[in-house]
């Protein structure tokens, strides 16, 4: 018997044989004993990165030291500036206080003749001026004015103006007040006009 083979079937069989893939061609199978070794260049790269981190830390410490030194300089400058400002403010306050005291003393000094006139009128028996004298003296006394009536005190040329002298033994002593003196706080506005013996 003769077997007849269809030409189309023969071609299909050949084509199936040609398209069959082996495991090696597909790349799906791998050898389990093959292990990839680390690259020497990779180790060098890791070492370089580690060295870079160390260098970065060292630079950071130097920068911190520099910043601390700069901060200390600024703090010292600030403290000096604060001290200078405090001193300038204190001097300005002292100067302003001295100016106020001087202005007040000048005003009181101009009012002293008014007190002298009122006291002279009282000595002459003019009682009408007594309320004015007492009111003015009360206000000025409350602000720091005090009278200098040094009868019996040792003569002191700083606060006494001697206009009459009487001979006597011992140290010079004030025996009569010719005109009252006045002190404004710690400052002598007007020396007392006195008679001295000694």
Least confident among 64-68, 136-140, 176-180: 64-68
More confidently predicted of 81 and 33: 81
176 part of a folded domain = yes
pLDDT value at 17 more than 50: no
Tokens 């006009």, located at residue:
193
Q: Which residues contact 193 (CB under 8 A, 6 or more apart)?
A: 161, 163, 177, 178, 179, 181
More confidently predicted of 186 and 92: 92
The stretch 17-31 carries a mean pLDDT of 45
Alpha carbon 153 to chain centroid distance? 51
Q: Are residues 120 and 157 in the same domain?
A: no
Range of the domain at 66: 56-143
pLDDT value at 192 more than 90: yes
User: Which domain-ending residue is among 143, 168, 187?
Assistant: 143
Q: What's the chain's length in residues?
A: 198
Domain CATH number, residue 65: 3.90.20
More confidently predicted of 124 and 2: 124
Q: Are residues 132 and 78 in the same domain?
A: yes
Give pLDDT, residue 101: 87
Q: Are residues 193 and 134 in the same domain?
A: no
Where would I find the H helices in the chain?
A: 7-19, 23-26, 40-123, 130-142
Q: Please give the tally of structural domains in the chain.
A: 2
Give pLDDT, residue 85: 93
67 part of a folded domain = yes
Domain CATH number, residue 181: 2.30.22.10
Give pLDDT, residue 185: 87
Q: Are residues 154 and 135 in the same domain?
A: no
User: Which domain-ending residue is among 124, 143, 162?
Assistant: 143
Instruction: Please tell me the distance from the alpha carbon of residue 134 to that of residue 147, in angstroms, as a whole number.
Output: 13
Q: Model confidence at 58, in pLDDT bands (50, 70, 90)? A: low
User: Which domain-ending residue is among 102, 117, 143?
Assistant: 143
Q: Are residues 98 and 129 in the same domain?
A: yes
pLDDT value at 10 more than 80: no
Mean of the per-residue pLDDT values of the chain:
78
pLDDT value at 108 more than 50: yes
Instruction: Please tell me the distance from the alpha carbon of residue 60 to that of residue 67, in angstroms, as a whole number.
Output: 10
Q: Model confidence at 1, in pLDDT bands (50, 70, 90)? A: very low
Q: Are residues 123 and 185 in the same domain?
A: no
Give pLDDT, residue 25: 47
4 part of a folded domain = no
């Amino acid at each position: 018997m003769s077997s007849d083979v269809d030409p189309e079937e023969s071609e299909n069989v050949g084509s199936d044989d040609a398209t069959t893939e082996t495991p090696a061609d597909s790349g799906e199978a791998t050898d389990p004993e093959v292990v990839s070794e680390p690259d020497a260049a990779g180790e060098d790269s890791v070492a370089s990165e580690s060295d870079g981190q160390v260098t970065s830390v060292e630079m950071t410490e130097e920068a911190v030291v520099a910043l601390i030194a700069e901060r200390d300089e600024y703090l010292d400058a600030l403290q000096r500036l604060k001290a200078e400002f405090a001193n300038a403010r204190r001097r300005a306050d002292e100067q302003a206080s001295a100016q106020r005291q001087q202005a007040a003393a000048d005003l009181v000094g101009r009012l002293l003749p008014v007190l002298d006139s009122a006291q002279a009128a009282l000595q002459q028996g003019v009682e009408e001026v007594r309320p004015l004298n007492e009111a003015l003296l009360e206000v000025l006394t409350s602000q720091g004015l005090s009278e200098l009536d040094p009868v019996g005190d040792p003569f002191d040329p700083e606060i006494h103006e001697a206009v009459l002298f009487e001979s006597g033994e011992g140290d010079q002593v004030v025996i009569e007040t010719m005109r009252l003196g006045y002190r404004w706080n710690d400052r002598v506005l007007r020396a007392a006009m006195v008679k001295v013996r000694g």
